[in-house]
Structure formats: structure tokens, C-alpha cells
Chain A
């Protein structure tokens, strides 16, 4: 059952991720990206990360992607214009990408022997209670710094995007 669920949502994630890259219109890419984030949320649940799964849906698939789609609609962004790529890009792009993926896969398979496997309920330390406890004890300083970062980001966004007042 876990394997079937993993395969279904992994395939949805990979197909949506390919769709993000190959679609020419930004709005299609954005909707595909929501598909990636939703299926990743299911995989987080499978790994026992309840809080992170909820935060993924609310923060990523909800807030961030709404912001993206809002900007795409606001700028009335059309489809990408086709133009000739340089010779080096056409020649080396895909092989280098496959080399990157192969290298990552090589290290993963070397670092992680076959023994360890994931089943639903195998790790129950990812509840909101456990995450909150760690967040407000061990990671209290990073948490506070993060709030400062968000404050600065709000100010920066307002300053950058406001209308010039004459």
C-alpha cells in the first residue's frame, strides 16, 4: 500500500515537474508547480512529517503560488517567444544535466544501502507538538531571526513595488 501510494504520487510529482520546465506559458508552469507541491505534501505525510505536510500545502501551494499566479495575471505574461539557442547550449545542455542527475543518483546509491526502508507510521516524531517543542527550545534564535527576515522582506516588497509618489 505504501509502495503504491509512493509510486502514484512520485509519478505525479515528476510529470508535473517536467511540465513546469516544458510548458511555454507561465500560468501552465505555475499550475504544474502546484501539482508538484501537493504530491510532495502527500510524500511528507508518508515520511511521518505531519506538520511539514500541512505547512507545505498552506505556505507553498497556498500563499507562494497565489502570489506567483497573481503576478503572472497582473503582468499579463504571454507565452515565451522562441529564439535560437546557442550551439553550446544545444550540444551540452542535456548531457550535462544527465551527468548531474547520474552523479546525484550514484552518491545516493553509495551512501544508502538497500536495507533502510520507509513505511507509514515508522516515524512519529514529526507532529506539530514535536516540531513546536524543538522550534521554541533548540531553534529559538533562528526562529526569532526568521521573524526579523520576514519583516525586512515585507518592507522590501513594499518599497520595491509601490507607486512612485511625486
Chain B
């Protein structure tokens, strides 16, 4: 009874990913949208580590490591872009940032 079925980890990963998709689609604040992307990346990382456990290989950990590094780089550049957008438009609402729409 002490053991956890491996599918529960994958279910948790799916739930976190779906919540990240929900935040990405429903939220209007650009910073919250960005945080939802991080949430999705975390969900995927959990499945990588779970598959790594199942296959008894270390490769999944390496993929998770690279995802983390890319996410850190992405956060630095993305937040710099958000700063620039706010400096030019003084809004964080993605509905108001629509200059590519027309």
C-alpha cells in the first residue's frame, strides 16, 4: 500500500499542464500568462522525471535540466520584453497590446 502507482504522477503532470493551458488562455495580465507557461513547463518536467524512473535511465533528468536552463533564459528575455512593452505602452493587459492585429 506504501507504493504509488506511476500513472498518478503522470495524471498530476497532466493536471498541472492543463491548468497552465487554462491560465495561458483565460488570463489577461501578460505576467500571469508568462507564469502559466512556466506552469506548463513544470508539468512536462514531472513527466520526464517519471518516465526516467520507469525506464531506470538518467536521460529524462538531463532533459529536465535542459528545460530548466532554457526556461531561465526565456524568463530573462521575456521579462525584459515585458519591461520594454510596459515602458512603451504603460499597460500589461494583452488585449491592449494588439499592434500586430491590424
B-binding residues in A (CB < 8 A): 1-3, 6, 10, 13-14, 17-18, 20-21, 26, 29-30, 33, 36-37, 40, 43-44, 46-49, 51-52, 55-56, 59-60, 63-64, 67-68, 71-72, 74-75, 77, 80-81, 83, 89, 93, 97, 100-101, 104-105, 108-109, 112, 114, 116-119, 122-123, 125-126, 130-131, 134-135, 138-139, 142, 146, 149-150, 152-154, 156-158, 160-161
Contacts and interface: CB of A to CB of B under 8 A. Distances in A.
Nearest to B90: A75
Contacts of A109: 7
B73 interface: yes
A75 to B, nearest CB: 5
A20 B19 contact: yes
Given A105-B14, A153-B76, 10 more contacts: A21-B27, A43-B12, A47-B49, A59-B72, A67-B76, A68-B35, A71-B79, A75-B83, A108-B11, A153-B73
A152 to B, nearest CB: 8
A47 B68 contact: no
Interface residues on B, range: 35 or more
Given A6-B4, A40-B45, A97 B71 contact: no
